[in-house]
A and B are shown apart, each in its own frame.
Chain A
Amino acid sequence: MSRSRRRAQTSIEILFILAIVLTGVVVVVKPYLTSSGSMVTDVYVKNAAEDACSYLNNGVLVNDNLHEPLNGILSASNYSYRGFKFRGLTTTQNDSVVSVSVYITYQGSERSWKNSGIPNPDTYLGNQIKEFMLRYISARPNVSRDGDTLSFGGKKISIRVIVRGVEG
């Protein structure tokens, strides 16, 4: 066997090995990306909700586009601590739409907002926090926003924010 022939043989062996390695990579990476994608969604939503809560609790208003939805709540709460807390989230998944429900509580009852002139405080809070979260998450890479839904990695995400007051 000539020298050049042997060299060609080695490279074909390497090609086989590479083919096996690459198939392995494809098999492993695809489910990893799927699960990592839904985990990233959860992390984004959780971060957004927690940031909203700490911003509201801090009571210092920032005049920018991102925080603008929350600023109405801040002036209604008189820039004071209202004990907003992120309680958790549940995710339900259809084929293409992921629905995320976020639960947030604050100290006191719905009546404590009466002086601020907001008709339905809990609904209002929910809507404003949701708008903030949509703006917050759509600033992340690979996330695009269309009205009330977000698209991320080929999936649509719809967010629902439930805000309740708790006594004590």
Chain B
Amino acid sequence: MRRGQISIDFLFAVTLVMLTVLNLVYIATNETTQAENFDTLSKLKVFSIDIRDSVTKVYSVGSGFKIKKELPLKLEPGEWVTVKLDNTTNRVVITAYIGGKNYYTAQKLPVPVGENSEVILTGNHTTFWIKAEYNEGGSMLDVTLSP
């Protein structure tokens, strides 16, 4: 065989290797999408549990106490997360629009919610306060969210 000429078995080998590599790339892309999706899910879950615990803590410390919270996600323009304390179901409700998908989760609160309150978090506004105030009219402690 002349030098510089590619032998046919080498070509076969290259084809087989290419097939394997293509398959690997395909599987990897697939798994990455799945993993990224699950990453957002888990972060939202952790965030909801964190909010639940913080609300409980603020409630137990009492009137005048407040905690600053920050969203553990980076939001692109157009994406948003809302956090809501719902007094009818007594839950923390989180809704989000991230990467073209809508997310929703809820956590039961062990302390009573006096009134509904809600914050909307966006890319350049990711912090909010959870504060407790004594409500004279209802004679109970109100935990509210405020920007």
Contact A79 B102 (CB under 8 A): no
CB of B101 within 8 Å of the partner chain = yes
Most B Cβ at <10 Å: residue of A21, A54, A59, A78: A59
Contact A58 B45 (CB under 8 A): yes
Q: Pull 10 A–B residue pairs with CB atoms less than 8 Å apart, ordered by A.
A: A58-B41, A58-B42, A60-B42, A60-B44, A60-B103, A62-B37, A63-B103, A64-B101, A78-B108, A79-B107
B102 and A51 within 8 A (CB): no
Q: Is A120 positioned at the interface, with any CB of B under 8 Å from its CB? A: no
- In the bound complex, residues from chain B placing their C-beta under 8 Å from that of A63 are 101-104
A-B contact count (CB 8 A): 41
Interface range on chain B (Cβ under 8 Å from partner) = 10 to 19
With beta carbons under 8 angstroms apart, the residue of A21, A54, A59 that contacts B105 is A59
Flag whether B65 is at the interface (Cβ < 8 A). no
List 5 tightest A-B contacts by C-beta distance, closest first: A63-B102, A60-B105, A61-B104, A60-B41, A79-B106
* Chain B contact residues, majority secondary structure: helix
**In the complex, residue of chain A having the shortest beta-carbon distance to the beta carbon of B44:** A60
Q: How far is B104's CA from A54's CA once the two chains are assembled, in angstroms?
A: 16
Residues of B within 8 A of A (CB): 8-9, 26, 34, 37-38, 41-42, 44-45, 48, 101-108
A18 within 8 A of B: yes
| Given contacts A18-B8, A78-B108, A80-B108, A55 and B41 within 8 Å (CB-CB) | yes
B105 touches A79 (CB 8 A): yes
For residue B88, give the distance in angstroms from its CB to the closest CB of chain A. Answer: 14
Residue in chain A with minimal CB distance to B97: A63
Which of the residues B34, B104, B108 comes within 8 Å of A60, measured between beta carbons? Answer: B104
User: Is the CB–CB distance between A54 and B38 below 8 Å?
Assistant: yes
Least CB distance, A133 to chain B, in whole angstroms: 14
Interface residues of A in 88-139 (CB under 8 A from B): none
Q: Find out whether the CB atom of A62 lies under 8 angstroms from the CB atom of B102.
A: yes
Is B34 in contact with A61, judged by CB distance below 8 angstroms?
no
